[in-house]
Amino acid sequence: MILLKIALRSLNSRRVTVTLIVFSIALSVGLFLGVEKVRTGARASFANTISNTDLIMGARSGGVQLLLYSVFRVGNATNNVSWQSYQDIAERREVEWIVPMSLGDSHRGFRVMGTTGEYFDRYKYRDGRGLSFENGDRFADLFDAVLGADVAAQLGSKVGDPIVIAHGLASFTKHNDKPFQVSGILEKTGTPVDRTVLISLKGIEAIHVDWRRGSKVPGWTVSVERVRRMELKPKAITAAMIGVKSRLKIFSLQRAINDYDEEPLLAILPGVALQELWEIVGVAEIALIGVSAMVVATSLLGMAAMIFSGLNERRREMAILRAVGAGPSTILWMLMLEAAILAVLGAALGLVLLYTGLWLARPYVDMAFGLYLPIDAPTIREFYFLFGVVVAGGLVSIAPALRAYGISVGDGMTIKN
């Protein structure tokens, strides 16, 4: 207890230096834990984006690519699935439900997805949560549109507002002659749905009736009134979510889709594709954690260097302690205790900086990247890391402590030029 009081008073006498050391350790600890929180938060956000969907079907490509463009709205499909093929798969007896998705257009930088009303019932996220509306309802009219929470928030759109769909993702060509009206705004989900504009499949066909091969036919315009009288039938879709009647039939249906003779199709299990995605980015994760760990190590070594550099100024202090009866081992343990106290303070401040940063950054990260960063208590793994920082702080102080251990009373009392 006496040794602790002496160590605290010694640290208090060097407040400026101690503050710098503690803040350096806190920044490195906050960085490391922040990287860990972002890594686990990103995994959780991706894993929670879709649930209760057994298979995702699309044109034959890579499993990760199909997952990215169909669920996360990242990238583009290499090809479409014909409507006839979609109907063939939908009629198989293993299929309990199937929801088509048509991607390709946009609205002011946000993806537009054509689907059916069943999407609002079948799409689940975060262990089975369903979609719900903050305002309005699902599309009922041909030119109704439902906005994700982020779309409505960033554009300031309300139910009843008109919107115009642009052709393609980065196109200045708009379907001005066939505007849509906002019929509903979804509640926040923390998934890519928040950044999506949802319209009906017939709505997708309606805005493209006077288009051929990706461009508008010159001199030919079909009016809204005429389109409403037309029998609109999709020609192709981008992908489809599938629910199977029995879990035992998932793999047999997957094989049947992958071996489909009429056109090359691919069916993936979302969980398996997610695992493949994390294997791809795993190297980057390890590198990022390694860099963060090196920052922590550098901070602790910096603390040891500052203790070393301060020994010369503390020679008289050490000598006085020795003169009043403190043995060399007492000096050694005191310096190690000081280093451990600095590490504890740095780790505690690092936690404060971490949660403050999470609280400030979470809305921006959620809005900009669709990543939900949970603010929860430190995990057992994180507590082990913090304990390791304290232990490492004590260990790196051994060298300067041994140097102080060897300082004699006579050496300490001698003033050197």
Strand partners, 106: 111, 166
**CA–CA separation, 113 and 117 (whole Å):** 12
Buried b (16+ CB within 10 A) or exposed e, 245-281: eeeebbeebbeebeebeeeebbbbbbeebbeebeeee
Contact between 315 and 411 under an 8 Å Cβ cutoff? The reply is: yes
Q: 78-93 pLDDT, tens per residue? A: 899 999 999 999 999 9
Q: 282-311 pLDDT, tens per residue? A: 777 788 788 888 888 888 888 887 777 766
**CA–CA separation, 48 and 194 (whole Å):** 14
What does the chain come to in residues?
417
**CA–CA separation, 401 and 82 (whole Å):** 75
Contact between 307 and 397 under an 8 Å Cβ cutoff? The reply is: yes
Q: What angle do CA 19, 22, 25 make, to 5 degrees?
A: 150
The structural domains of the chain, with segments of one domain joined by +, span 2-46+281-413, 55-268
Q: Tell me, yes or no, if the pTM score tops 0.85.
A: no
- Beta strand pairing call for 180-186 and 144-147: parallel
Q: Along the chain (417 residues), what's the average pLDDT of each consecutive run of 10 residues? A: 73 80 90 85 80 95 92 88 96 96 92 96 90 95 95 94 87 84 94 94 91 71 87 93 94 96 95 86 80 85 77 66 67 80 91 90 72 78 88 82 62 51
Residue with tokens 């900086």: 353
